[in-house]
Amino acid sequence: MKRASSSSVEGKEPEQQSGSTNSSDAADRATATAPAAVKKQKVMNDDADDDNHNDADDTHGASPRQEAEKKEEKIEEETKEEAEKEVDEASLLEPQLELMPLIPAQPPTVPLTDEEEVELQKKYRYKYQTRPAPVYKSKDYALWPGKLPQAVFGSQKNIHNAVVASDYMRTWFAQYQGLRTPPPKAARSSYALYYNTQKTHWKDTHGKLNQKRDSKKIGVLWQNLAVADKAIYEHQYDRSHEQYTINTQYWHDEAAKWRTAKIQQIVHQANNGGGGGEGSSLELVEQQVTALIEAISRD
């Protein structure tokens, strides 16, 4: 009985093998007898498999040196495109006239209120009294063109007092009437731009900035800043210097025109006043006007 059962099992294995062979043959015959569209799809699938194998072979076949050369070429192309873009942007820069306002003949002031005017009239109501010139306050020099006149007034006030500084500024405005204030200096470095940005937001996040203590913290933040983020400030630094060069060139051109007109004005006034020595006075006036330009450019 055992022998019979084993033979029966052994007899089933050839049947299973023959069944699998028959199924593969049937699949081939089905493919052979399939419509042309099915055959075409099978051929396309086989070709796609071959292409994938070829791409994989090419990828594995590329040497590290070839891959490095391709990366270098890509970086060079990107760098060249960025440089061309920066040149185009620089060619579009124009002088920033709002940063170089014209200097008027007298310092602008805030008009007096009706109460202030009445009070002054009562105080200086007699004919022998002379109403004094105004003493400028912060609300007044906030109207002055640019930051340079404010800095000059502040330095004179520290040396003397507000009354003397106000008299000095009336003379200063009269001397430089019609000249534009020099453009503000460009940033000293990309870190300076980052520092100013952090200084602006420091109060909101950390409270009032302590120059001695917190400057070191900002320096550490700059050192740990990502390369991509540093590149933003470096780009701003380059652009600020390009803009400063354009502004400075424009200001020097305008200052040269103002110098010529100022010399002619002073010489004309001197001649109408009966002054002698026209040749020597012209040389002296040229030196004085040149000194004025040099002084305001240093400030």
pLDDT of residue 267: 87
Containing structural domain, residue 270: 190-298
Identify the pLDDT of residue 271. 82
Regarding whether 211 and 147 lie in a shared domain, the answer is: no
Could you read off the pLDDT of 131-148 as tens digits, one per residue? Answer: 899 999 999 999 999 899
Within a domain: 239:
yes
Gap between the Cα atoms of 299 and 291, Å rounded = 12
Which H or E run includes 234? helix 227-272
Residues 160 and 203 in one domain: no
**Distance, CA of 208 to CA of 198 (rounded, Å):** 12
Check whether 263 has a pLDDT greater than 70.
yes
The structural domain count of the chain equals 2
Q: pLDDT band at 166, cuts 50/70/90?
A: very high
HSE-CB for 18 with a 13 A CA cutoff: 5
* Length in residues, the chain: 299
Would you say residue 160 lies in a domain? yes
Give the residue from 127, 135, 131, 132 showing the smallest Cα distance to 153.
135
Nearest to 173 by CA among 195, 199, 146: 146
pLDDT band at 82 (very low <50, low <70, confident <90, very high): low
Contact 107, 173 (CB under 8 A): yes
pLDDT at residue 274 in the model = 53
Q: Is 220 part of a structural domain of the chain?
A: yes
The answer, as to whether pTM is greater than 0.85, is no
- Token readout for 41 is 């799809």
Give tens-digit pLDDT for 189-226. Answer: 999 999 988 888 888 888 788 888 888 889 999 999 99
Banded model confidence at residue 75, pLDDT cuts 50, 70, 90:
confident
Say if residue 157 is in the same domain as residue 205. no
The tokens describing 277, both together, are 């020595």
Residue 276 pLDDT class (50, 70, 90 cuts)? very low
Higher pLDDT among residues 282 and 136, named by residue:
136
Give yes or no for residue 278 having a pLDDT over 60.
no
- CB 165 within 8 Å of CB 153: yes
